[in-house]
Amino acid sequence: MKVFESARIRNVALLGHSGSGKTTLTETMLFEAGAITRRGSVGQQNTVSDYHEVEHERGNSVFETLLHVDWRDYKINIIDTPGYDDFVGEVIAALRVVGTGIMVLSSPDGVQVGTEIIWKYTEKFKTPMIIVVNKVDHEKSNFDRTVEQAKNRFGRAVTVVQYPLNEGKDFNLIVDVLKMTAYKFPPEGGKPEKLPIPDSEKEKAGRLHNELIEAIAENDEGLMELYFEKGSLDEDEMRTGLKKAMIRHQLFPLFCLSAERNMGSGRLMGFIDNVAPAPIDLDPWQTRSGDALSCDPNGPVVVFVYKTLSEPHVGEMSYFRVLSGTLHSGQDLHNADTGSVERFAHLYTINGKKREEVSSLQAGDIGATVKLKNTHANNSLHEKGRDLSVPPIEYPSPKIRTAVHPVNNKDDEKLAQALHKLHEEDPTLIIEHSQELRQTIIHGQGELHLTVAKWSLEHRFGVQAEFIKPRISYRETIQRMAKSQYRHKKQTGGAGQYGEVYMVIEPYSEGMPPTPDVNVRHTDEIELDWGGKLIYQNCIVGGVIDSRFMPAILKGVMDKMHNGPLTGCFVRDIRVSIYDGSMHSVDSNEAAFKTAALMAFRDAFRQADPKILEPIFEIEVVVPDDYIGDVMSDLPVRRAIIQGIETDGHYQRVKAHIPQAEMDGYSTALRSMTQGRATFSGQYSHYGPVPHDVQEELIKANAAGEDE
């Protein structure tokens, strides 16, 4: 396969809600360019893009898929992305490495929730965008409504370049207001006949043509002067202006087509190579040190790995973009993140599961290689001595979690290895081995995300796993002062044990007054690993307890704080004052004082109005106006406290504090009550007291567990 120059490379990502026709459009583009001789379909499970077994089972894209076509001596790299928010990591990774996004809308369905969610990321990356209204041949197609929705949701920068005639089952003609030409398609689709615009459409086409010219001129001072001077712009001037406006995220040209019937895809591909920006047209990438990294084929070689995937019979495939220089097969590069040296023994261009070896890839191109030993997604690699790397992709925080354990306990290690591999392939899938909860927790983006992870464990890695409700990281504390005393005395045939401890415990808070009626000799302020503090005060006078036993007393207190008196959870925010005690000249030792302190702390804790605390999360729910009432009614049922509401266009942003215990299942419930149009994000905020009835249930459950 030939090597393409940077100027003749285009990188695009197909984006949109699930079912909008991205995979079908991909198939049609490959067919139109001659990369395949027969188009497959999602229903027949024979498309080039959706080739994974799980995608065949589910009937929709789960992974992003890299493809490419040679179109009129241009190489168009295409990344087909999933449409569900659960797989947003695949979308973000694609947006990081492409130069243009193609947002596919379904004409019968309009702007759907997946589209709106993905659009937010395109705005974050300032990705140049093309909008494609697909399925204009559908009997329920409504092109005008879809365009109006797009303008309402994405702004007036959405500018019509094409519109359909004979919309619906009889669709066969597109009016192009950039070229001021009509394209008539044969019944079987394919290459159209170019015709003059029908007389009945000349007024509408002329109006849209002028709107397009004005939109282009408004965003370029030079073109604005030309427009005023000539009263119009020619096609080349419009293309130049469109490219500049797209790069600046100021115009989103809108096309129409039927991907299933192959009507309009060729014109779209022509626009991609003629107008969409090449990698060298875009702003340079920024290195971690803040320097600009130009897309220069003659510069130092820098590669960014945006995805890894373990393929059957192949091993680990690493997908990358060449940011700078020209990468040759057999070249060694240094991994800036791991410090290892990796040999790119083979370079491939990819079409789904098919790969074709090439000798080199220039700056701006996207390709793959195999068997990089210590390289993962988000790693930068560079030539020896150049020390060039780019910031990693930032993924959204998880929204949902589950605990996992193997059905067969002998598979513990196998499960751990499989989970590690899944995280390497999908960084939005976070694996936590919680010592506190004694569970392995999987954090993901949604129910479907976790369902696919479970499928992968069982089918790809051969581990039968059970997903169960995860435990909650509760904490224990106290609400008032209490005193206690405990004497540990044990006499056996040999040396005995003796230690007596008097202590005061108080709820700790910053700036609290000194403990009354004690003389503090020494204070240790201990930041607890699980949050909060322990203030340990030595108030012993007169030598009633030797100073060498004070560390043992602290250890006894800490042991009980590791295993709280109410539920066995960690204890936090306590001030302990050791103010009296006694010892024996022969039988006192560290073990005795440790036990005495543990028991004294336990007894005092139970008298000090103990309280169980639960983790509280701060969440933000982004919900369309139509569903705000349902969301606001549901949150208090989950013990959430509304913090505020802000208006954001057609959406309301609801901020609330909600107990983590009430968040299990919230992702699914929110999707159900808003027809999938609301999203939420959340992060840990603080610990707060649980209601009395919940506390009683937790104490009973802990007692039952201890009995068992």
Q: For 243-267, what is each residue's pLDDT tens digit?
A: 999 999 999 999 999 999 999 999 9
* CA neighbor of 387 nearest in space, from 333, 342, 331: 333
For residues 364 and 448, membership in a common domain is answered with: no
Residues 6+ apart with CB under 8 A from 46: 40
Question: In the predicted model, is pLDDT for residue 190 greater than 70?
Answer: yes
At 303, is the pLDDT very low, low, confident or very high (cuts 50, 70, 90)?
Answer: very high
The pLDDT, as a whole number, for residue 43 is: 86
Distance of CA 689 to the CA centre of its chain: 31
- Output the domain CATH number for residue 452: 3.30.70.870
- The pLDDT tens digits for 576-623 are 999 999 999 889 999 999 999 999 999 999 999 999 999 999 999 989
- What's the CA gap between 219 and 242, in Å, rounded? 9
Question: In the predicted model, is pLDDT for residue 708 greater than 60?
Answer: no
Query: Of 422, 448, 468, at which residue does a domain stop?
Result: 468
At 52, is the pLDDT very low, low, confident or very high (cuts 50, 70, 90)?
Answer: confident
With contact defined as beta carbons under 8 Å apart, do 416 and 345 qualify? no
Place of tokens 């504090």: 657
For residues 437 and 504, membership in a common domain is answered with: no
Higher pLDDT, 17 or 114: 17
* Mean pLDDT for the stretch of residues 558-579: 96
- Judge whether 392 lies within some domain: no
- Judge whether 395 lies within some domain: no
The pLDDT, as a whole number, for residue 671 is: 87
For residues 325 and 429, membership in a common domain is answered with: no
* CA neighbor of 29 nearest in space, from 74, 61, 62: 74
With contact defined as beta carbons under 8 Å apart, do 232 and 220 qualify? no
For residues 644 and 571, membership in a common domain is answered with: no
* Partners of residue 641 on adjacent β-strands: 657
Question: In the predicted model, is pLDDT for residue 280 greater than 70?
Answer: yes
For residues 338 and 374, membership in a common domain is answered with: yes
- Output the domain CATH number for residue 355: 2.40.30.10
- What's the CA gap between 374 and 314, in Å, rounded? 17
Give the angle 377-80-105 at the CA atoms, nearest 5°: 135
- Compute the mean pLDDT over every residue in the chain, rounded to the nearest whole number: 93
Place of tokens 């192959």: 262
| % of the chain surpassing 90 pLDDT | 81
Query: Of 262, 281, 300, at which residue does a domain stop?
Result: 281
For residues 201 and 129, membership in a common domain is answered with: yes
- The DSSP output letter for 258 is B
- Output the domain CATH number for residue 665: 3.30.70.240
- Judge whether 644 lies within some domain: yes
- Output the domain CATH number for residue 63: 3.40.50.300
The pLDDT, as a whole number, for residue 385 is: 85
With contact defined as beta carbons under 8 Å apart, do 132 and 21 qualify? no
- Output the domain CATH number for residue 567: 3.30.230.10
Which H or E run contains 146? helix 143-154
Q: How many domains are there within the chain?
A: 5
For residues 631 and 593, membership in a common domain is answered with: no
- Judge whether 292 lies within some domain: yes
Phi and psi at 699, nearest 5°, equal -65, -40
- Judge whether 389 lies within some domain: no
For residues 316 and 230, membership in a common domain is answered with: no
At 493, is the pLDDT very low, low, confident or very high (cuts 50, 70, 90)?
Answer: low
Q: What is the distance in angstroms between the CA of the first residue and the CA of the last residue of the chain?
A: 68
The residue length of the chain stands at 708
* Mean pLDDT for the stretch of residues 325-335: 97
Domain limits at 536?
476-608
For residues 80 and 158, membership in a common domain is answered with: yes
- Judge whether 455 lies within some domain: yes
Please state at what angle helix 22-32 crosses helix 265-274, rounded to 10 degrees: 80
- The DSSP output letter for 141 is -
For residues 245 and 313, membership in a common domain is answered with: no
For residues 134 and 208, membership in a common domain is answered with: yes
Output the 3-class SS for 303-364.
EEEEEEEEECCCEEEEEEEEEECEEECCEEEEECCCCCEEEECCEEEEECCEEEEECEEECC
Query: Of 426, 445, 468, at which residue does a domain stop?
Result: 468
For residues 230 and 344, membership in a common domain is answered with: no
The pLDDT, as a whole number, for residue 311 is: 79
- Judge whether 700 lies within some domain: no
Question: In the predicted model, is pLDDT for residue 273 greater than 60?
Answer: yes
- What's the CA gap between 238 and 480, in Å, rounded? 75
- The pLDDT tens digits for 444-492 are 998 999 999 999 999 999 999 999 999 999 999 999 999 999 999 987 7
The pLDDT, as a whole number, for residue 1 is: 66
- Judge whether 708 lies within some domain: no
The pLDDT, as a whole number, for residue 150 is: 95
* pTM as predicted: 0.88
The pLDDT, as a whole number, for residue 112 is: 85
